[in-house]
Amino acid sequence: MSINSYYQIEKEISEYLTPGEKLVSVAVLKEIPAIYKLMLTRGFAGLFSQLYIMGITGKRIVLLPINQKGEIDKSKIPDYIEFKDVEIQDKFIFNPMFHIQINRKDKLLDLRFASGFKSINLHKYEFISAFFNSKSSLKNE
């Protein structure tokens, strides 16, 4: 089933949460390819970049890959990321970028908000606000 509503995304991602864990916000993000890949392909590498669903809970972040059909890729293991491993930069004027350090793979993943998902009620600034609120509430505990 391809992703076409906010409630469907919530339902799909809730399968990966522990009991008692509450989903605060979700976003659809796209991997930013390396500069050399963009230059070699004259920008086409950006069109075929991996999409992810990122869910924020009060304790951690859940990152799920989306396959070519637009569905959550159940064959891949989701990444559970701590807030300390995520940094937000606004290198791009209107599209903030997430730097995510995935411990399991020792890999730096650069993600930006995927375009075309505002119609299903995914707003990037609400997501960023939820990210900082959850991160600060963990520091206060």
Domains present along the chain, CATH in parentheses = 6-140 (2.30.29.30)
* pLDDT at res. 118: 59
Average pLDDT of span 33-55: 73
Range scoring the smallest mean pLDDT among 19-23, 81-85, 87-91: 87-91
Q: What is the distance between the alpha carbons of residues 27 and 36, in angstroms, rounded to a whole number?
A: 27
Check pLDDT > 80 for residue 17. Answer: yes
| Per-residue confidence band for 138, with pLDDT thresholds at 50, 70 and 90 | confident
* pLDDT at res. 50: 80
Higher pLDDT, 115 or 26: 26
How large a percentage of the chain has pLDDT more than 90?
3
Q: What is the distance between the alpha carbons of residues 3 and 29, in angstroms, rounded to a whole number?
A: 13
| Per-residue confidence band for 46, with pLDDT thresholds at 50, 70 and 90 | low
Average pLDDT of span 5-19: 84
Average pLDDT of span 110-131: 75
pTM exceeds 0.85: no
Average pLDDT in the chain? 77
